[in-house]
Each structure stands twice: as C-alpha cells, then as structure tokens.
Amino acid sequence: MKKKVKNNVFWVGKVDWELKKFHGNEYSTHKGSTYNSYLIQEEKTVLIDTVWAPFAEEFVENLVKEIDLNKIDYIVANHGEIDHSGALPALMKHIPDKPIYCTANAVKSLKGQYHQDWNFHVVKTGDKLDIGNGKELVFVEMTMLHWPDSMATYLTKDNILFSNDAFGQHYATEKLFNDLVDQCDLFNESIKYFANILTPFNPMLRKKLDEVMSLNLQIDIIATSHGIVWRDNPMQIVQKYSQWANDYQENQITVIYDTMWNGTKILAEKIAEGIGLADPDVVVKVYNLAKSDENDLITEVFKSKTVVMGSPTIAKSVLHSVAGFIHLMKELKFKNKKAAAFGCYGWSGESVKVINDLMADAGFDVINEGFRNSWNPDPDSQKAALDFGKEIAV
C-alpha cells in the first residue's frame, strides 16, 4: 500500500523485516531494512527507483493496485545496484518502451546486470525534467556515493531530495518519517551505515556535500532509499555527514583481540584497565573478535582515536580473524587513527610485529613496538600490560 510523503509524492517501496545480512554476508542488518521507491503523480507520473530483486513481483503487483502502469511517464534510476533496480526487469516487461532517466554509468551497470536495451535517457548534474504543475526534477550526480553511477533527484516546489543510498540506514519500520521512530535506533543505524559503507569515499563526499550546498536548494525532505524519510530537520543528517566525512573520531580507545587459551584476553582487559586509569575521560571498550559482530566493531573503530589490536602467535603469524578484520579496516581507508598491538606467545612470538605491519599498511599510525608476553600472563606481566595501557592513553 502506498504511503503519502508530501502532496502528490508517495512511498511505494518494501519493508524487509527479515533481512539479517546485506551485500551477501558483508553487512549485518540487525534491524532489517527497507527498499524505498517513490511515485510522483503530477501532470506526469514518475517512478523513482524500485526494490530488491526478490521482491520484484510483489512490487509490481502492489504498484498495479495503485496505478495503471501505462500511466507512468518516466522512470528515474538513481542507482543501478540490485537493491534499487532489482524490480526493473519485472516492471519493464509491462512497459518496455518507457524512458529510464539515469547517469551514463548507470546505463553501464543496468545493461551489465540485466542485459536489456531499455529506453535510457542519460542525465548529468543540473539537467532538468518538466513533470507539469510547475514542478521539475533536477538531477545531481553523486559519483562514488557510493557507486560510480549514483545520482540524486530533486523535486522543485515540494523541495524533496531523493538521495538514494546517501543519508540512509538499514532499518525496517512501518513508520515512514524520522520523527516517528526511536531516535537511538535511528542514530545507531545511520552511523553504522556511514562507517561501513561511506568511509572510503570521504574525500569525494566532502566535495559533494559542498557542491550540493552551493546549489542553494531548499531541502524540506530527504527521501532516502533505505530506512526513514527525513522530514523533521532533514539537514541534521547532512550536518552529521559533514562531521563524519572529516576523518571523524571521538575520545574513544577500542581494544580488539582474539584469543586461543585466554592469555591474550587477560592482556586485553589489563590494557583497557590501564587506559582507564591513565585517562578517566576516555571511553574504553574491549571486544573479542570471535564473539562480536564485525560491522558493529567497524562502527566502534570509526568512533575511535586509537585501536589496540591483539592476537596470540600462531604459525609465526596471527589468528585469521585478526588478519581478516584488519583487511576490512584497510578497505575502509580510515584516516587519523592511531594503533598499537599486543599478544601472547609460547614459542616464536611474531604476532605483535605482524599486527604492527598490517595496521601500518591499513593506514593507521602505529605508536609503539607493542606488548609481547611469553606464555600466560603472570602478576608481573599483567602489571606490565596495565602499564602498557597507561602509555597508550597518554
């Protein structure tokens, strides 16, 4: 059933309450997600984006209940990724000649995925489309936010920015608007989404935010493609993006480790204790990688000024969970963060050096040689780990 966004603009998307993993298995979605599609019914009728492929038939069936598909004049594909374009094949079977407005890169991605020669109309930033009743759509390329084909669409007079992935969250709700949902949930899912998806594109995002601001568009509503529609102070999420895109950090130090026989775990907790003793103001958090959600951990890394990584030595290296997590951090191109390493060993003891090298390669500023401990930490080495924590804090 369609839901009214404003005047003649309606949400016609899908709430996916069951989604637990996104991008294959790469992103945990504890609170599900939504795929937001919008119908504009002015003199011209416009469909903006669709839904993920598994919901294609359901989407088209629901759309048919709302409108004769032949009455759709224009389709706007802000982004080619399958969670927004996945219902296009089912839809276009009914209306194969309708024009699809999208970027040149979106033509590549849509053709590459669906192998169809639909009636594409390529648009660039500033191009406009008259939809009657004195209203226009204005297109804004959002290159690398987060794909080369990404675009936003602005509806004049109603002052709605259809931002696609930007400003979204993986958050299932029947409440359409930001002021109607739990604000903690909304913030947590928004920052997790930014940390896990948008961090690598910070330099481009900074430029794009400046560019969008310089257009001086009055933005009353930001209608994203995931989660809620920002109608109450929509610029709050733009301001948050400005902060987050500037190599964001809080006064937080996060200790992340994996362990085999709990020796490295004991070190982790002593190091955290030392940090807390040396700086009562700093937020210290400790996570066992094997028992934590990696995407939630990435959000903690995003908020951290320093990350302290620990692994015992195994086969002259580190546990694969630690290597894999450092690889994930490297992909996200974190900037302006310090790192230190620790770990227990029984024989050769290479893990700390391996972590230091991996963290430096991942773009972290490694602040010391790290803390190695032979066999299980005795009271003296526990005291030394505590002192190591104090050093990190100052």
Question: Catalytic annotation on 193?
Answer: yes
Residue length of the chain:
394
- φ, ψ of residue 177 to 5 degrees: the values are -110, 155
Q: Which residue among the candidates 16, 42, 83, 189 is catalytic per the annotation?
A: 83
CA-wise closest residue to 171 among 235, 250, 256, 237: 237
Q: What residue is closest to ligand FEO based on CB?
A: 81
Q: Which residue among the candidates 74, 101, 154, 193 is catalytic per the annotation?
A: 193
Which residues make up the interface to ligand FEO (CB under 6 A)?
A: 79, 81, 83-84, 146-147, 165, 225-226
Question: Catalytic annotation on 165?
Answer: yes
How near is the Cβ of 27 to ligand FEO at its closest, in Å?
10
Q: Which is nearer to ligand FEO, 224 or 356 (CB)?
A: 224
How near is the Cβ of 49 to ligand FEO at its closest, in Å?
9
Contacts of range 241-245, beta carbons closer than 8 Å, 24 or more positions apart: 241/166, 241/167, 241/194, 241/198, 241/205, 241/209, 242/206, 242/209, 244/191, 244/194, 244/195, 244/198, 244/302, 245/198, 245/202, 245/205, 245/206, 245/209
How near is the Cβ of 165 to ligand FEO at its closest, in Å?
4
Instruction: Give the contacts of 224 (CB within 8 A, at least 6 positions apart).
Output: 36, 163, 164, 165, 166, 167, 168, 169, 230
Q: What strands, in cross-sheet order, belong to the sheet with 135-141?
A: 128-132, 135-141, 151-155, 160-164, 221-224, 229-230
How near is the Cβ of 84 to ligand FEO at its closest, in Å?
6
Question: Catalytic annotation on 23?
Answer: yes
- Whose tokens are 């770990």? That residue is 343
How near is the Cβ of 160 to ligand FEO at its closest, in Å?
18
Q: Which residue among the candidates 226, 241, 248, 287 is catalytic per the annotation?
A: 226
| Cβ atoms 79, 150 nearer than 8 A | yes
Q: Which is nearer to ligand FEO, 170 or 372 (CB)?
A: 170
Q: Which residue among the candidates 38, 146, 257, 287 is catalytic per the annotation?
A: 146
Q: Which residue among the candidates 42, 79, 300, 345 is catalytic per the annotation?
A: 79
**105 token code pair:** 């890169």
Q: Which is nearer to ligand FEO, 55 or 147 (CB)?
A: 147
Q: Which is nearer to ligand FEO, 15 or 359 (CB)?
A: 15
- Whose tokens are 């029947």? That residue is 174
**39 token code pair:** 């119908």
Question: Catalytic annotation on 83?
Answer: yes
Dihedral angle over CA of 267, 271, 273, 278, nearest 10: 160
Q: Which is nearer to ligand FEO, 30 or 390 (CB)?
A: 30
C-alpha distances in Å from residue 275, one per residue of 259, 309, 326, 379: 20, 14, 22, 18
User: Amino acid identity, residue 300?
Assistant: E
How near is the Cβ of 147 to ligand FEO at its closest, in Å?
6
Q: Which residue among the candidates 81, 258, 300, 350 is catalytic per the annotation?
A: 81
Q: Which is nearer to ligand FEO, 163 or 178 (CB)?
A: 163
Question: Catalytic annotation on 79?
Answer: yes
Q: Which is nearer to ligand FEO, 253 or 298 (CB)?
A: 298
Burial class (CB in 10 A: 0-12, 13-18, 19+), 330: middle
How near is the Cβ of 224 to ligand FEO at its closest, in Å?
9
Question: Catalytic annotation on 94?
Answer: no
Distance CA 103, CA 92 (A): 18
Would you please indicate which residues are annotated as catalytic (active-site) residues?
Answer: 23, 79, 81, 83, 146, 165, 193, 226
